[in-house]
């Protein structure tokens, strides 16, 4: 019993010391370690300035063919290229009707050769000094009008949009308006109309053929105006004064 007393007190002392050490670790020691660890974490976090890299996608290379390339022959003579394929340094102070030369260059993506079949970009063209609207009628194409009367007195005109042919070179705009005489046909034949007027004109067959059904009915029910109207129509159709009702020309 005497020996058991000190052992019991020693156990109690060890338990107290163990409790105090655990309490110290949980209260003071843990916060101390946390305080020491926070600056380290902050230092790692703020190790240096943040660099931002922006990735710019590479622009896709354009593979579209310019519209004028459809008119430009490949490896042809530069002097024979259409006007849409070249750029020329024109001079509007040249003398009208006189020969003149201009320095020209081909447009991008256009290839041409000289007389020796050597590739070239710059060349000289020879042309006549005149504006596009001064060209002869064979050098441009114009739109047709089907709403004007071709057989009338005086002859009617209409405003047409004309475009110069590709291989013709001139000064100014290659598309221009121009007043032209009405000149179109609806498929009526002059010989057929005249034959009907001579043979069946008393029944109005010529007028019906030309699309003039009112006059045709008048001739039909009056027996050609007792022959007088028939003779007059033969003369009028023969000289071309009476034409199709739609205002077109005979074939």
Query: Per-residue pLDDT tens for 17-59?
Result: 777 777 667 665 544 444 444 554 454 445 555 555 455 555 4
**Quick one: average pLDDT of 127-146?**
90
Q: Which residue has the tokens 């001579």?
A: 198
**Quick one: average pLDDT of 77-86?**
87
pTM above 0.85, yes or no: no
φ/ψ (deg, to 5) at 158: -140, 155
For residue 231, pLDDT beyond 90: yes
DSSP E strand stretches across 129-250: 140-142, 157-164, 175-181
Confidence class of residue 140 from pLDDT cuts 50, 70 and 90? Answer: very high
Nearest of 79, 80, 71 to residue 109 by alpha carbon: 71
Q: How far from chain centre, in Å, is Cα 60?
A: 22
Query: Per-residue pLDDT tens for 204-221?
Result: 999 999 999 998 999 999
CB 209 within 8 A of CB 203: no
**Quick one: average pLDDT of 84-111?**
88
Percentage of the residues of the chain whose pLDDT score is greater than 70 = 80
3-state secondary structure of 176: strand
């Amino acid at each position: 019993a005497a020996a058991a007393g000190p052992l019991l007190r020693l156990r109690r002392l060890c338990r107290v010391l163990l409790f105090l050490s655990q309490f110290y670790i949980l209260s003071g020691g843990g916060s101390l370690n946390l305080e020491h660890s926070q600056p380290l974490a902050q230092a790692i976090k703020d190790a240096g300035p943040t660099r931002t890299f922006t990735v710019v996608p590479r622009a896709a290379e354009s593979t579209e063919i310019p519209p004028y390339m459809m008119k430009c022959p490949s490896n042809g003579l530069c002097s024979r290229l259409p006007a849409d394929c070249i750029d020329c340094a024109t001079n509007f102070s040249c003398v009208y009707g006189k020969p003149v030369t201009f320095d020209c260059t081909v447009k991008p993506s256009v290839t041409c050769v000289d007389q020796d079949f050597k590739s070239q970009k710059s060349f000289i063209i020879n042309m006549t000094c005149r504006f596009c609207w001064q060209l002869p009628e064979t050098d441009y194409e114009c739109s047709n009008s089907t709403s004007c009367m071709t057989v009338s007195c005086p002859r009617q005109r209409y405003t047409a949009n004309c475009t110069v042919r590709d291989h013709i070179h001139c000064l100014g705009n290659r598309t221009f308006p121009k007043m032209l005489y009405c000149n179109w046909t609806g498929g009526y034949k002059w010989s057929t109309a005249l034959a009907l007027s001579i043979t069946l004109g008393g029944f109005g067959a010529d007028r019906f053929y030309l699309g003039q059904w009112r006059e045709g009915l008048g001739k039909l029910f009056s027996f050609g105006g007792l022959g007088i109207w028939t003779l007059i129509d033969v003369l009028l159709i023969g000289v071309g004064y009476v034409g199709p009702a739609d205002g077109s020309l005979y074939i």
